[in-house]
Chains A and B, each alone.
Chain A
Amino acid sequence: MKDSKKTYWKGLEELAQDESFKKYAQKEFPEYLPVNLQKGGFDEDEGSSSRRDFLKLMGFGVAAASLAACEAPVRKAIPYLNKPVDVDPGLANYYASTYVNGGDYCSVVVKTREGRPIKIEGNTLSPITRGGVSAQVEASVLSLYDDARLKKPFLNGKASSWEEVDKDIRGKLRSISTSGDKICLVSNTILSPTTKAVIADFQAKFPNTEHVIYDTYSAEGLKSAHQNLFGQAVVPSLDFSKAEVIVSFAADFLGTWISPIEFTKQYSQTRKLNNGKKTMSRHYHFEANLSLTGANADYRSMVKPSQEGLAVAALYNAIAKKAGAPGYNTAKVDVKFIEKAADELWAKRGRSLVVGGSNDPAVQTVIAKINDLLGNYGKTIDIETPVNFRQGSDRQMAGFINDLKGGRIGAVIFLNANPVYNHPQGSEIASGLEKIKLKVSTTDRMDETATLCDVVAPDNHYLESWNDAEPKPGHYSLAQPVIRPLFNTRQVQETLLSWAGSPQTYFDYLQDNWKTNFYQGDDTGLGFQTFWDKLLHDGVYEHEKAAIDEVSEDGVEEAFEGNSDLSGAFAAIGKNYKADNGGYELVLYQKVGLGDGSQANNPWLQEMPDPVSKATWDNYFTMSQADAEAIGVTMTPEGDTSYASLTAGGQTVKAPVLIQPGQTRGTIGLALGYGRSKAGKVADNVGANAYPLASMKDGVANYSVHSDVSIAVDAEKAKIARTQTHQTIMGRSIIQESTLPAYKKDPAAGRVYPKIATSEGFKAPGAISLWKGHEYNNHHWGLIVDMNSCTGCSACTVSCQAENNVPVVGKQEVLNRREMHWIRIDRYYTSNEPEEGLGKINKLRAMEDASDNPEVVFQPMMCQHCNNAPCETVCPVAATTHSSEGINQMTYNRCIGTRYCANNCPYKVRRFNWFKYHDNDQFADANTSMNSNLGKMVLNPDVTVRSRGVMEKCSLCVQRIQAGKLEARKENRRPVDGEITTACASACPADALLFGDMNDPNSRISKALKIKEKDKTHVEVGEPRAYHVLEELNVNPNVFYLTKIRNKDLGSEEA
């Protein structure tokens, strides 16, 4: 049955088969079931109800039942007084808008019901994000309904009114301005050209105003490099879709780096395989932490941060040798795959891309030069279209902090920026602020910076605001409000306009700006209003600037000539990097879910498992197995570990230790974005704040520490709530994978065809069956999961959570293995099975070596909608049944909670409501979307909120299917392929999920599967890569997986 030589494991515990793992492996549920929390949590003697309790309960029950029987409560129906023309109760409206959070950008379509935004979808009209979204974008709709948002402006710590605030500030600004003191506007990257115009107006009114921009994760190094080489301090546009060889030095471009949604769209294009396309990009990744992007790489190599510069230099020298460019002597560093990568990069000149996540200008300069030598500029890198995502200047920010400390600033206005928390020198800013006369914040909550300010003038949420954005020159995007401001807040632009003395609303200002600067008149003669309406409808707008291109291209050519000397950069590399650094090194990174921590108070993001570590509700030190052993930390599958204290640069941070396969030995990773103290009840005191560990080095932010890092284990035990290692795969071949050369030879490479024993010999599992099959006359819904393009980004998980009212359960319940996500992304580490001949000790050692740098597979797992569903047969009350369209239906109000179905489900995708998660104080701090009137506004009114004691699971978004079918019927037609799709598939930025009707021969799913024939019992699929997980069980799912193909050389076993 098992042809593959590979072994897959979910965690180190499984690989090592240690005792604690084996003990729990067979058990789906943990030993203790702390249900009776009222009686003091996890006591030994819990759950022993007395006879009196029983009688009390019974008496109450009888009384309640008889009361309930008397009279039904009177329910009110309250219609509009004046119904808005466009709003029909029960019908959803969709508005194009733009998600902007600092420099993060996504063009979106917002679904509203009865005027409430409830779901974010990607905008397919956008040429940049092309309909993709990320988990953060999906979750942003819940941030709108955050209880921690300020409800009104605050003046000197007291609630105030806008009139008073405006009066106070106008007066103070005038006096500061006349006294000649400096006024500083501090913001993160601003993508909006109109907001910049507002700031310019403000500066015109108060000429001594400086606009300071910083980024929470700086890209100053990248910009400096382009300044050094090409005379333009910009972040260029990248196009991964044209790159056949991708080399990344710790740039997590699929997860958090610069523009991950855009890059994932491009990258996944190069990873798709089918009959027509049998090529894919090759991806080399060099990093210390195991990042999401590293997990997707074909060849991953472990590099310490202290070696990174040398590794880049080695690659440069290898390329330079081929290109005939001057080489530079640097210390030799032993990094795998550098030579191989150099060979292939050179072979694919102009069709390759080298990127780096480092913020060191020297390293970025060398990387840019490598790309230049490879002729990638103008091909995969477009410096003519620089992106605006990272406009921050570390040097400018450093100047501001110096002025602040020196008391040389009259007024500071923080425009939605929270540097006290998310800047490496946050504490210095905090102390510097004490000397400032006027301190203003426009942030939406009383955050770490706002609490130190005199005035807080809260901004609207982006879903309540008018705005525009210019992610790249010539590409524009518009944001429109989809709900009236929930609270007495005011858009920051309007606030600035008002303080600058303009009575205009920002909407008028925006429209005027567009009329004068963007509207060029049109041939149709329909006028500006039509242009504007189309703009709002599409959400995006492109504006050609052909003439400028010609000029600047020449300019770049000249710059090339002038700056080809890299000796400065190499000198810096030689000084700052070492080949053999002894001590520990620290690498700070952003998590895919929480990012820089600005949305930390969003429980959907807190509970979203980190794609790689699968941990929720925490940040932690990631360490390699060997290092953890060295400091004396062990970790159980239950998540038991120890706290450790890490000291670097005079700062000490305490966090739990997580043993992370793939972590470079000698390095420790820690995520930013946690440890908020003033974000709200969800985020406060979750994890540790890592920003103070970052430092400023030569004027740029530095997110790694190479020396003087010490770590010591604390006596205190910790628990990390991970969603995986909960269930084991018991050595079954649920992941089927191969390599590209093998696939080219045989498209079915890597496939495993299980056989079952019958009286007539071995046969395919479907050959004999107790099941009669189902007839699908109308639709037959199916889903394809392409494991080759799935990057594991988890946008689908959050999208599903928003669409289907999936509750958040909190850290303790995740520890109890009771998370509720309907779609989870299983992450398997894989390494080659050790040879049989080895002794036990050697075998273990071999495994341990492999676990140092394993390969990773992501497998999204949701209800498989089996045609021969094991859950359906065991339900005693027929609460789970099969539909005539191939869907395994779950009827909550019929379910009595026996959990037989979950026990009988081979995929473990059923979720049980152990508690009433809505209207329950116990979950008020975690499950905010179901426990306050404000939070409940995000719920999808078409989906039932489940109560305690019922089972739930993926429904294939049956509410969307029903709505889509109804729409078609109303228009007397069949549904069009693509019109009906699930929340996960529509969110996926990699298009790894494809939903459709397998009865429609022209649907994309039918074509992708190459359906040959269908009958009652099975679907004959022609696509050799398509397989069912656990096919040997003959449960015959309607979800198909496509094999994972790695672009590795044939026979190369080394990972």
Chain B
Amino acid sequence: MVKKFINDRITRLLQIKALKLSFTLILSVLYFQPAFSQESSPGDIPSDEASIAAGKATFQELCTVCHAVDKRVVGPALMNVYERRDLPWIISFVKNSQKVISSGDPYAVALYNEYNKTQMSNFDYLSDEEIINIVAYIKHETDNPATPQAAASEDAAAGGAEAVEQGGIPSQYLTAILAGLLVILVIILGVLMLIISVLTKYLKDKKDLDEESQELVAQKLDFGKFFTSSGFLGLMIFLFAAVAFKSVIDGLYTVGVQQNYEPTQPIAFSHALHAGEYEIDCNYCHTGVMKSKNANIPSANICMNCHGQILTESPEIAKIYKALDYDKRTQTYGPNQKPIEWVRIHNLPDLAYFNHSQHVKVGGIECQTCHGEIQEMTVVKQHANLTMGWCIDCHRQTDVNTVGNKYYDQLVELHEASNKNQLKVKDIGGLECSKCHY
């Protein structure tokens, strides 16, 4: 276990290192390329705070959907972009990238090909000044890199791993302690055997022992006899049966439990990107979560709110278009619509009634409590085991979210009169059968 953990950690660190390395390589390539082609002077980029602030606002409003300053997202990282290209090029590219590409500009064509021919949206409504402000903001970010938040997010994985370690005894010490204990045990065993052999030798030399005692002394450890003795065999059979029984029972308990179920979905939708990176509120897509039993798998029209404009060339988005029979050129919907068949991950049996709004709206429970760190999942997997024991455990431990809810006022009063503990879900019938089964 410990070993596996350490291994995991090392591979993780290596991966991160490799990632960083490739990043630097890409960046340096991008960085050095313009150096050969042309000199650009960043002199006319403003550096006053007002421009930077204005640029930041526009950047966050329009660009962050696809770009970041310090890393490659949908589009390239924009760090040092003003050094790679001159301002007029940037302005014309932002306003109408397709025009620049079709003009045969080699840099633009290369960029276009590098990013799977994903076309950048046109921002022709932005004024030159606004685009320059954006560049000013990028320059500001480039010159003052690694704000604490950015660093944190980049090293999230590594940081997370460390955080876990801090919780208990560091694992390497644990190994050392165990190894030390083992050595001590071996030494004790050696010493004991030494004592036995010395004593046996001494007793053998004694002549005044009676017969019984002599036999005892002469006795040799007969392993063959020991292994065939009924006591040993019985013990072994018992141990084997017990282990087998336990594993069968454990196995049976996992029948139908699909924890860590991580099926491939028809469309490679990433929660890590949408909920994690872009921090889109869960409610935006899962519209039922506050009012209904079902959180709702979002209907395709919700996808189209953004993807009517964004990433229109992606093969994954094309699947949505196909389902809706949507022609992106004419922006019209056809008649041959076919719903998307997602693979259902969280399967409660039909006999159990679960209501999202009760838990999320009334109970105030975070999505992550049951669904895990969904904002980090590229492919969603079942986090909890969704067994009745798991439900009940939570109902036993969770305090009722009574604050500001008149429904509970009288109940809290009655509870506090007789009990010092907080009102738990179990105290209001949360363990009763027909709260979930009817």
**A residues lining the B interface (CB < 8 Å):** 68-69, 72, 74-83, 88-91, 777-778, 879, 881, 883-885, 887, 889-894, 942-945, 955, 958-959, 962, 965-966, 968-970, 972-974
Contacts and interface: CB of A to CB of B under 8 A. Distances in A.
Contacts of A944: 350-351, 437-438
Given A89-B294, A90-B296, 18 more contacts: A76-B341, A77-B343, A77-B344, A78-B297, A78-B339, A79-B299, A81-B299, A83-B296, A89-B288, A90-B292, A90-B355, A881-B433, A883-B434, A890-B433, A893-B437, A943-B438, A955-B434, A958-B438
B74 interface: no
Interface string B279-301: 00000000110011110111111
A89 B355 CA distance: 12
6 contacts: A88-B287, A89-B292, A91-B291, A955-B434, A959-B438, A965-B407
A860 B84 CA distance: 86
B357 interface: yes
Main secondary structure of the interface of A (DSSP, over half): loop
A444 to B, nearest CB: 29
Interface in B245-259: 251-252, 255-256, 258
A955 B251 contact: no
Contacts of B45: none
A1007 B374 CA distance: 51
Most buried by A among B301, B356, B414, B438: B438
Contact of A972 (B263, B300, B324, B404): B404
A88 B438 contact: no
Q: Which 10 A-B pairs have the closest CB atoms?
A: A90-B293, A889-B434, A90-B292, A90-B294, A83-B299, A80-B299, A77-B344, A891-B433, A79-B297, A884-B429
Given A89-B294, A778-B411, A79 B434 contact: no
Contact of B429 (A81, A83, A883, A942): A883
B353 interface: yes
Nearest to B300: A81
Contacts of A893: 349, 351, 437
B332 to A, nearest CB: 14
Interface string B330-346: 00000001011111100
A72 B355 contact: no
Contacts of A945: 350
Interface string B297-334: 11111100000000000000000000110000000000
A81 B258 contact: no
B345 to A, nearest CB: 8
Contacts of B294: 88-90
Nearest to A947: B351
Contacts of B404: 972
A582 to B, nearest CB: 60
B147 interface: no
Contacts, number: 154
Contact of B263 (A74, A78, A892): A74
Contacts of A889: 432-434, 437-438
A881 B429 CA distance: 12
Contact of A942 (B256, B287, B353, B361): B353
Contacts of B292: 88-91
A377 to B, nearest CB: 52
Contact of B324 (A81, A88, A778, A942): A81
Contacts of B362: 966, 969-970
B270 interface: no
B357 A970 contact: yes
Interface in B397-438: 404-407, 410-411, 414-415, 428-429, 432-435, 437-438
Given A76-B341, A88-B292, A884 B434 contact: no
B155 to A, nearest CB: 35
Contacts of B251: 69
Nearest to A81: B300
B288 A69 contact: no
Contacts of B103: none
Given A778-B428, A958-B434, A81 B301 contact: yes
A944 B351 CA distance: 6
By DSSP majority rule, is chain B's interface helix, strand, loop, or mixed? loop
Contact of A81 (B296, B323, B361): B323
Given A79-B340, A80-B299, A970-B361, A894 B428 contact: no
Contacts of B255: 68-69
Interface string B227-270: 00000000000000000000000011001101000010000000
B347 interface: yes
Contacts of B429: 778, 883-885
A649 to B, nearest CB: 54
Contact of A80 (B339, B355, B414, B437): B339
B358 interface: yes
Contacts of A80: 299-301, 339
A891 B438 CA distance: 7
Nearest to A942: B353
Given A72-B258, A958-B438, A969 B339 contact: no
A69 to B, nearest CB: 5
Contacts of B411: 777-778
A217 to B, nearest CB: 41
A79 B361 contact: no
A891 B352 CA distance: 10
A151 to B, nearest CB: 22
Contacts of B256: 72
A890 B263 CA distance: 35
A72 to B, nearest CB: 6
A321 to B, nearest CB: 63
A74 B258 CA distance: 11
Contact of B355 (A68, A891, A966, A972): A966
Given A778-B428, A889-B432, A955-B434, A78 B342 contact: yes
A894 B351 CA distance: 10
B358 A966 contact: yes
A893 B436 CA distance: 11
A962 B357 CA distance: 12
Contacts of B351: 892-893, 944
B298 to A, nearest CB: 6
A77 B263 CA distance: 13
A944 B352 CA distance: 9
Interface in B356-370: 356-358, 361-362
A806 B242 CA distance: 45
A182 to B, nearest CB: 45
A78 B341 CA distance: 5
A881 B432 CA distance: 8
A88 B414 contact: no
A78 B287 CA distance: 15
B406 A972 contact: yes
B261 to A, nearest CB: 8
Contact of B407 (A83, A890, A955, A968): A968
B359 to A, nearest CB: 10
A962 B337 contact: no
B382 to A, nearest CB: 11
B22 to A, nearest CB: 36
A944 B353 CA distance: 9
Contacts of B288: 88-91
A955 to B, nearest CB: 6
A68 to B, nearest CB: 7
A77 B342 contact: yes
Contacts of B337: 81
A69 B405 CA distance: 44
A753 B428 CA distance: 36
Nearest to A974: B407
A76 B342 contact: yes
A817 B405 CA distance: 49
Contacts of A88: 287-288, 291-292, 294, 296
A881 B438 CA distance: 13
Given A88-B291, A90-B288, A942-B353, A79 B296 contact: yes
Contacts of A879: 433
